[in-house]
A and B are shown apart, each in its own frame.
Chain A
């Protein structure tokens, strides 16, 4: 479904990604593992149009979406849940969710989608009128995830879902992502902790200094402690 070929991207003259090749199949959970600062966020940003790549291609179901505008890529169903959540701070929880369904066809069925999201996150319903900026870190992360789920995503790109969260909240987040995946959603997850993603991952890529150095079934790679130790420290 999502294919990345030879992707090169970076910021103001310094290249961060040096030719990434990556595939996510329908309903597959793919995890890009790598330490901080090795290009995980840049990779997701380059795929979803926030950072136009300097070379390479991004294909969605065989269609070239490289250098499309971010809003058009999102409308096409590649939905990015960014690092730092990027909620709309002065909007309520309910309004944040509605914005997730902004795209025309999705907007028409926003009530149905809202109902589904409330099943996953019942507390969001009670807190609907609260401003997003007044939420705790864990609540924000869940709202960011829920907002992404309001869209008609074909694939979810999630950037470090556990970043800055307490262990218990982290567990809840990954459990929710697991539920979403079981619903048939394709996932591309960027993470730095192999333990977190063991249940979610079908396949794993190891990212080091802007290059994918290993690729393989999650079973194999995530159980290879020596390998993980050498890459993730």
Chain B
């Protein structure tokens, strides 16, 4: 075992762990408040990334302009998804089935639309920071540090928002006791929309910041979403702390498996870990347990 390999595994693990966490944060927020398993989360990631790509490639504007645009586009897209597909079925008996099918449908549609609008060629989204440094023989990109820092900062911001602001507290109130929330004059369905838009913004940001590490294509959101789903379940559906901890645990675990046993073991390794986890703690690390909805 060489130092370089260990540093390599740690770096990759922390970098991807922070992105998994960021994606999972959005999923877990939506699950906690709306009890919606948003399988379009990866599609929203892609919407953000392509929106930023479009600003850079077609409008020839710098990535620092494209980044907020991508985030905004993803949030708006998520909110529209709420208006058109989620809101009409809230409180109806078929909510789970309807939203599962709708969100899968949205994912497929977004991929198809991206293919039609932008053609299947892989796109390059420029990084915000392009320099890098070498630590123990491993290339540490500044963009990677930016991703990690942004992700941690967003966890802190979301936590502060939920703890100290009127709107954030209302989101927690809706998550914990929907009926009482409406008796406190909290507009429940509108709150759902806000949570979904916030979650969309987080996915969009992840999309714009992560795309420079790969080439962007219409399926780019799939892997981050699967990882985020695993992280969310591992950390406990609805738990923010769980998303943060599980993101890094899974990211680092996957990265070590990859470095020491080869890439082909990475995903099976993660699945073995989660199966063991679910046997030991069925609700995940910090799960919130039972389901209730408006």
Q: Can you list, as one digit per residue, whether each of B164-178 has a CB less than 8 Å from chain A (1) or not (0)?
A: 001001101100110
Contact between chains at A107 and B180 (CB < 8 Å): no
* A210 close to B (CB within 8 Å): no
Query: Interface segment, B143-151, B182-190, B227-235?
Result: B182-190
Question: Interface residue count for B (Cβ, 8 Å)?
Answer: 17
* B179 close to A (CB within 8 Å): yes
* B104 close to A (CB within 8 Å): no
Contact between chains at A99 and B187 (CB < 8 Å): no
Contact between chains at A99 and B186 (CB < 8 Å): yes
A192 to B177 CA separation, bound complex (whole angstroms) = 26
Contact between chains at B177 and A89 (CB < 8 Å): yes
Contact between chains at A86 and B179 (CB < 8 Å): yes
- With A69-B187, A102-B166, A102-B170 as contacts: A88 and B182 at CB distance below 8 Å: no
Contact between chains at B182 and A103 (CB < 8 Å): no
A147 to B186 CA separation, bound complex (whole angstroms) = 14
Contact between chains at B183 and A88 (CB < 8 Å): no
- With A99-B169, A99-B170, A102-B166 as contacts: A88 and B180 at CB distance below 8 Å: yes
Q: Can you list, as one digit per residue, whether each of A66-100 has a CB less than 8 Å from chain B (1) or not (0)?
A: 00011110110001101000111111000100111
* A162 close to B (CB within 8 Å): no
Contact between chains at A87 and B184 (CB < 8 Å): no
* B128 close to A (CB within 8 Å): no
Contact between chains at B180 and A90 (CB < 8 Å): no
Please give, as numbers and ranges, the residues of chain A lying within 8 Å of B182 by CB-CB distance.
Answer: 49-50, 69-71, 74
* A42 close to B (CB within 8 Å): no
A95 to B188 CA separation, bound complex (whole angstroms) = 18
A182 to chain B, nearest CB (A): 24
Q: Which single residue of chain B is at the shortest CB-CB distance from A74?
A: B185
- With A88-B177, A90-B176 as contacts: A147 and B169 at CB distance below 8 Å: no
B binding-site residues for A, Cβ under 8 Å: 166, 169-170, 172-173, 176-177, 179-188
A binding-site residues for B, Cβ under 8 Å: 48-50, 69-72, 74-75, 79-80, 82, 86-91, 95, 98-100, 102-103, 107, 147, 151
Q: Which 4 A-B pairs have the closest CB atoms?
A: A86-B180, A74-B185, A70-B182, A75-B185
